Amino acid sequence: MIRITATGNNFGAGDIIFTAFVDSNLLILNAEVTFDPSNPAYRAVSGLEIYVPDLPFERSAVSGMLMFGTLDGKKNGTAIKSRIKDRNTIAVEKVTAWDDNDTVTLVFSNSYVPRNIRGPVTRLKWNIADTTDIAGGTASNGQTYWTATDEWVFLGIALSRLEQADAGTQVSFRIRGLPEMEDFDGILMDNQAMSPSVGTAMLRFHIRDNVFTVEHIHPDRSWHYMQHCGFICYVPRKRVADE
Amino acid sequence: MKALPSIAFNDFSGTAGNVTARSTSGGTILSVRPFPSKVCSQSQRARRNSLATISRAYKQLTDTQMKGWAALAEKMKGTSLFGKSAELTAHNAFIRINSNRRMLGQPLLTDAPDCQHCIPAVTYSGILVTTRRVLVSGIESPSEAYRLAVKMSAGKSPGVSSAWNATVVITPGIADDWGDASLTTLYNDKIGFLPKEGEKVFVELCWIDTASGMTGEPERTVVVCSSEEQAEAEGFVERKQFTTGMIVNEEKKVLDMDIEIPGGTSQMVAEGTFDIHGYCSYFYERLAEDTDEMLEGSTMVFSRASSRPDFKPGMMSVTFSKIWESGRYHQQIAVSHRAGGYEQQCEIFGSNPLMAFNI
């Protein structure tokens, strides 16, 4: 994993630094980019662009990532499209549904690949995520995927139910068999929206020493659970020397 | 009762109904009177209507606009358009440019376009014609405004040295798909059948500028049809791509789909728009024509409701497997909602690792 420092952007977001895995036909980016949607640069553009030093390929297929708006401390968001537009530009779809929020955050934890590379199909090992060492409530698996290379771990995890034991306790769990990962902050999507009913609620989760901890679930409500929630992310593997 | 002479049984000349009789020394010859067919194909009718509409539109132009077209026609003299080089009037230029635009679904141009810029030659790495496919690959598109126009002949025997007058428009303008222009269906639609192994196909390629309707100089080449096996032996590797046109889609749940596994990346690129009507939040599809090699693997990508302002996001799995049906295996593709929000009208997008258990 390397760091890529953006040379600029067209939506007034300030400095952007990605943690990246770069291969000749694969780019994985990790970063959260938060900005004020009332800023004039953002208001003036129809598509968001982040400018970076030379990328490994000219253009990519559409990649999927998350974005969310934060209003009164609550996060609501959706999935958006992104692509490598040219060797120096990462383009991100502009969705204006959260433009009246305090901030908008783009969540990069996604991969970019070109299309039309003729060659043998290669596959990675499909592992089922089995939650273990659950503390503070319930974390039940739904359909799950995880796989790993020497550099990164891919997690596509659907949880059928995530429930706090009480209002004040955060749920935490491990996933059996995962390799050691770097500490990581990710975003988990609920299956329902907070008011107003656009997108779905988004919650933050942390990975520390391979333990997943989810932020307080609906702290202002009388019930503290989510159903059919999940996350997709790429987490850097802990380097062998660091373990 | 009125008696009518029968030309079939009497020795005389004349016409009765559609039959004409004439007497010769050898007897009477009967022939059916030829009638010119007034039936024209749908495409002929559309083309004739289109040309008539364009021609009428020319008469509505202002004097200044007509002068502009006259100036363009003057510049276009000697410039070949789709292989035709001719002296042009303003009216000719107006019709030619606008009929090109019509074929591309563009509105009529009333002001003559600027033809100062030249349209580059087509750069591509190869044209593959086999008994199963017609493919132009490695196309380097100079601009998003350009489309590739292609004329081709039917398969000709190896002894034919020229069939440039027998080429027909396979496509008036196609956008390349990551450097590829797959022309198999279009060729079948226009010519009616694919060439046989060893036959020659005469090919003309040029760019058409969608903004102006101008075309570049056509590139001419002759390709010999080979077998699929020969193409593979010579290094052709099939692109691992699954599109809407390849699936049965009987229930029309797939509005649009383009899934690809780029070689060597361990990733599946999935883009699709669906209407998963019914009670389930998943569907299975089968390839209409199975390939020899079945793909098995799965991934999870983001999804999103198509309706606005909903934007409800979710996660969907995309799984390739083989199923046994009617005595043989078929390639199956399954798309299933797994987490987050869900609406029947939804889309998926993204690229994530292609995974399988038996690795």
Residue A149 lies in a domain: yes
Q: CB contacts < 8 Å between A and B, how many?
A: 193
Q: Can you tell me the distance from the alpha carbon of A77 to that of B228, in angstroms, rounded to the nearest whole number?
A: 48
pLDDT at B24: 57
Strand pairing of A131-135 and A89-92?
A: unpaired
Judged by average pLDDT, the poorest of A77-86, A100-109, B213-222, B281-290 is: B213-222
Residue A118 lies in a domain: no
Q: Are residues A168 and A237 in the same domain?
A: yes
pLDDT at B81: 46
Contacts within 8 Å (CB) and 24+ apart, A37-44: A37/A69, A37/A98, A37/A99, A37/A100, A37/A101, A37/A103, A37/A104, A38/A99, A39/A11, A39/A12, A40/A12, A41/A10, A41/A11, A41/A12, A42/A11, A42/A12
Last residue of a domain, one of A52, A81, A112: A112
pLDDT at B14: 58
* Higher-pLDDT residue of B148, B108: B148
Q: Are residues A25 and A80 in the same domain?
A: yes
Taking only the tens place, the pLDDT of each residue in B152-209 is 999 999 999 999 999 999 999 999 999 999 999 999 999 999 999 999 999 999 999 8
Q: Are residues A225 and A151 in the same domain?
A: yes
Total domain count, chain A = 2
- Is B357 close to A126, i.e. CB distance below 8 A? yes
Closest CA to A160 of A198, A135, A129: A129
pLDDT at B17: 61
For residue A186, what are its two tokens?
């990710």
Q: Does residue B41 register a pLDDT over 90? A: no
pLDDT at B48: 67
* Beta-carbon-side half-sphere exposure of residue A139 (alpha carbons within 13 Å): 24
Q: Which residues of chain A have pLDDT under 50?
A: 243
Could you tell me the pLDDT band of residue B218, with boundaries at 50, 70 and 90?
confident
Tell me which of A68, A81, A122, A161 to substitute to probe the interface with B (most B C-beta atoms closer than 10 Å): A122
Q: Are residues A233 and A135 in the same domain?
A: yes
pLDDT at B26: 52
Query: How far B87 CA lies from chain A's nearest CA (Å)?
Result: 43
Query: How far A69 CA lies from chain B's nearest CA (Å)?
Result: 13
Residue A195 lies in a domain: yes
Residue A119 lies in a domain: no
Query: How far A209 CA lies from chain B's nearest CA (Å)?
Result: 24
Q: Does residue B43 register a pLDDT over 70? A: no
| Nearest residue of chain A to residue B310 (CA atoms) | A198
Q: Does residue B27 register a pLDDT over 60? A: no
Query: How far A57 CA lies from chain B's nearest CA (Å)?
Result: 13
Question: Looking at beta carbons, which residues of chain B come within 8 Å of A200?
Answer: 312-314, 340-341
For residue A193, what are its two tokens?
């929206």
Residue A78 lies in a domain: yes
Could you tell me the pLDDT band of residue B7, with boundaries at 50, 70 and 90?
very low
Q: Are residues A102 and A141 in the same domain?
A: no
| Nearest residue of chain A to residue B269 (CA atoms) | A61
Q: Are residues A155 and A219 in the same domain?
A: yes
Q: Can you tell me the distance from the alpha carbon of A163 to that of A73, in angstroms, rounded to the nearest whole number?
A: 21
Q: Are residues A191 and A101 in the same domain?
A: no
For residue A181, what are its two tokens?
């990962």
Q: Does residue B135 register a pLDDT over 70? A: yes
Mean pLDDT along residues B303-327: 93
Could you tell me the pLDDT band of residue B116, with boundaries at 50, 70 and 90?
low
Domain range for residue A27? Answer: 2-112
Q: Does residue B115 register a pLDDT over 80? A: no
Q: Are residues A74 and A162 in the same domain?
A: no
Q: Is the sign of the CA dihedral A52, A55, A58, A64 positive or negative?
A: negative
In sequence order, the 6+-apart residues with CB closer than 8 A to the CB of B235 are none
Taking only the tens place, the pLDDT of each residue in B337-354 is 999 999 999 999 999 999
Closest CA to B305 of B255, B271, B348, B343: B343
Find the CATH number of the domain harbouring A82: 2.60.90
Last residue of a domain, one of A83, A112, A141: A112
Q: Could you tell me the end-to-end alpha-carbon distance of chain A, in angstroms, rounded to an integer?
A: 16
Question: Looking at beta carbons, which residues of chain B come within 8 Å of A191?
Answer: 314, 339-342
Q: Mean pLDDT, chain B, as a whole number?
A: 85
pLDDT at A120: 87
Judged by average pLDDT, the poorest of B50-54, B57-61, B117-121, B241-245 is: B117-121
Write the CA distances from A220 to A56, A74, A77, B68, B323, integer angstroms. 46, 10, 19, 70, 49
Instruction: Give start and end residues of each alpha helix (H) in B192-248.
Output: 228-233
Last residue of a domain, one of A78, A112, A146: A112
Instruction: Give start and end residues of each alpha helix (H) in B104-219.
Output: 184-191
Residue A233 lies in a domain: yes
Q: Are residues A47 and A135 in the same domain?
A: no
Using N-to-C axis directions, what is the helix angle for B42-59 and B90-103, rounded to 10°?
A: 130
DSSP B56-85: HHHHTS-HHHHHHHHHHHHHHTT--BTTB-
Q: Are residues A185 and A231 in the same domain?
A: yes
Residue A125 lies in a domain: no
Question: Looking at beta carbons, which residues of chain B come within 8 Å of A110?
Answer: 350-351
- Is B263 close to A118, i.e. CB distance below 8 A? yes
Q: Quote the pTM value.
A: 0.82
Q: Are residues A90 and A143 in the same domain?
A: no
Write the CA distances from B347 to A108, B249, B342, integer angstroms. 20, 16, 10
For residue B147, list its beta bridge partners: B208
Taking only the tens place, the pLDDT of each residue in B223-274 is 999 999 999 999 898 899 999 999 999 999 999 999 999 998 999 999 999 9
Task: Scan for tokens 């000709």, then name that residue.
Answer: B156
pLDDT at B347: 98
Question: Looking at beta carbons, which residues of chain B come within 8 Å of A199?
Answer: 310-313, 341
| Residues B178-212: b if buried by 16+ CB within 10 A, e if exposed | bebbbbeebbeebbeebbeeebbbbbbbbbbbbeb
Q: Are residues A87 and A173 in the same domain?
A: no
